[in-house]
């Protein structure tokens, strides 16, 4: 009986050690975020296929000067009613110019970790995407891209700068 209990204890310790070591796997920062590389995506409802420059007909960039950026509140990905008109202007343009599309670039300010800001930028881009779809824009015409805190509009370190950096930019193609 004693030998059986001892074997059970040893087996439990080995199994517990293996479970502990297996659970400590390290991953790259941001690996759990949407995609990799430049975080550019197609229609999320179509399986989140990353868009690459080598894909025929898919733009790597777009015209950011056609529409004003849409700004967000601190730590929020909700489209503010005061900013909704910007989405409506983009939707009108996209519906009028079939065959074109938009890349929505989500941005954050410098507060928070890089990984958090990439995720927040993606949530912001997806919120704008959802709003455009609700206005009748074809989902296939909308791509999203998160830049997090990597490309600030204003390099300052105060609320005025951070307010300008919490945005979604419309790159029309």
Set out the domains of the chain in order of their start, with CATH numbers: 36-47+59-172 (3.30.1330.60)
Is residue 168 a contact partner of residue 120, using CB atoms and an 8 Å limit? no
User: Distance (Å, rounded) from C-alpha 168 to C-alpha 64?
Assistant: 11
User: Distance (Å, rounded) from C-alpha 39 to C-alpha 25?
Assistant: 23
Quote the percentage of the chain above a pLDDT of 70.
65
Residue 6 confidence (pLDDT):
56
Q: Report the alpha-carbon angle 131-132-133, nearest 5.
A: 90
List the chain residues with pLDDT less than 70.
1-60
User: Distance (Å, rounded) from C-alpha 63 to C-alpha 171?
Assistant: 5
């Amino acid at each position: 009986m004693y030998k059986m209990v001892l074997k059970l204890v040893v087996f439990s310790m080995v199994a517990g050690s293996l479970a502990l070591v297996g659970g400590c796997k390290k991953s790259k920062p941001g690996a759990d975020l949407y995609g990799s590389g430049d975080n550019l995506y197609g229609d999320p409802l179509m399986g989140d296929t990353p868009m690459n420059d080598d894909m025929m007909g898919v733009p790597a960039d777009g015209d950011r000067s056609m529409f004003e950026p849409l700004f967000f509140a601190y730590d929020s990905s909700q489209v503010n009613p005061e900013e909704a008109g910007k989405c409506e202007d983009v939707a009108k343009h996209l519906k009028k110019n079939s065959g074109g599309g938009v890349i929505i670039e989500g941005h954050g300010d410098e507060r928070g970790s890089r990984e958090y800001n990439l995720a927040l930028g993606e949530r912001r881009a997806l919120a704008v995407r959802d709003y455009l779809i609700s206005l009748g824009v074809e989902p296939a015409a909308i791509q999203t891209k998160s830049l997090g805190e990597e490309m600030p509009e204003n390099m300052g370190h105060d609320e005025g700068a951070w307010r300008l950096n919490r945005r979604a930019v419309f790159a029309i193609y």
